[in-house]
Structure 1
């Protein structure tokens, strides 16, 4: 693993321990999602935003420039977080470094999983992962960066 990859993975792992909620309910999903939409519109980002808790979709919006394909990417990224309990981008970077594919050998159907950036776990302190905040429409690094930036703002970290 080169130094850049190692630094990226360390940074992504740090986000997992820093961006932790103390609670997360429907009103929190609405506030976070609404803030994400406002920022995306301000920045003219063509993204679809999706927030879920325990498998229930609490917030979903598709901004101009997106298609149904973005919804498919969201489903596949969410499956990665739910399966591995970590951000889809972190899972993807770990797989890339190890030279491993996300396939039947790992016990998953590739067409249902995408280890690409954009889905981040809603992790509650002393509870664990209870949901996801997902963006699709930008490069995987930018999808991930937007999600983590907005969660950080929401949490005040």
Structure 2
């Protein structure tokens, strides 16, 4: 599955447009649960051990490995990807493309010291969550894994959000259709 994903664009305006096209009406633990499971099932099917982390700035909504094989370092990378998304409001792939994958240019541009630089990454796999009516990014969807390239990690998250949107399209909750007298 991972090898069949088309490579993502490197065009910054197209990436920003793609990110904003996935604006949610609202975002709760239920959304994170469904998206997290879509990701987990896709990565399991591809036999790719990865860590899936979906969070708001100060609250984890979903956190699960897809398969055995996750190392403690994956936790650190998940945090770094989440931090990048929340600070700059773009996917980590967008940030990588903006700086040509050059960490030194990225750090110099943002005047970051070594200690601060260690809190962020420009490896793909971190994706912003936008909510209608809320200014800025409200959360992050992150994939960190063994054998998942930066481009592939971005593509897997985009595919999962697209699948989620397709599932939700036309869905009407029985609870929403009930009228209270």
Instruction: Give TM class, smaller chain.
Output: 0.7 to 0.9
2:125 to 94, 107, 118: 118
1:133 matched to 2:141:
yes
2:107 to 91, 98, 103: 103
Task: Measure, in 2, the Cα distance between the counterparts of 1:101 and 1:22.
Answer: 36
Alignment-derived partner of residue 44 in structure 1: 47
1:78 to 70, 73, 82: 82
2:56 to 42, 53, 56: 53
1:19 matched to 2:22:
yes
Alignment-derived partner of residue 8 in structure 1: 10
Alignment-derived partner of residue 147 in structure 1: 157
2:98 to 94, 105, 109: 94
Superposed displacement of residue 105, structure 1: 5.0
Per the normalisation by structure 1, the TM-score is 0.86
Alignment-derived partner of residue 64 in structure 1: 68
Task: Measure, in 1, the Cα distance between the counterparts of 2:144 and 2:102.
Answer: 25
Gaps of 5+ in 1: 1-6
Root mean square deviation of aligned Cα: 2.1
Give 1 or 2: higher helix fraction. Answer: 1
Gaps of 5+ in 2: 1-8, 170-181
Task: Measure, in 1, the Cα distance between the counterparts of 2:133 and 2:144.
Answer: 29
Equivalent pairs, count: 151
**Runs of 4+ in structure 1 displaced over 6 angstroms?**
97-100
Per the normalisation by structure 2, the TM-score is 0.75
Larger radius of gyration: 2
Task: Measure, in 2, the Cα distance between the counterparts of 1:61 and 1:49.
Answer: 5
* The 10-residue stretch of structure 1 (131-140 or 28-37) with the greater mean CA deviation from structure 2: 28-37
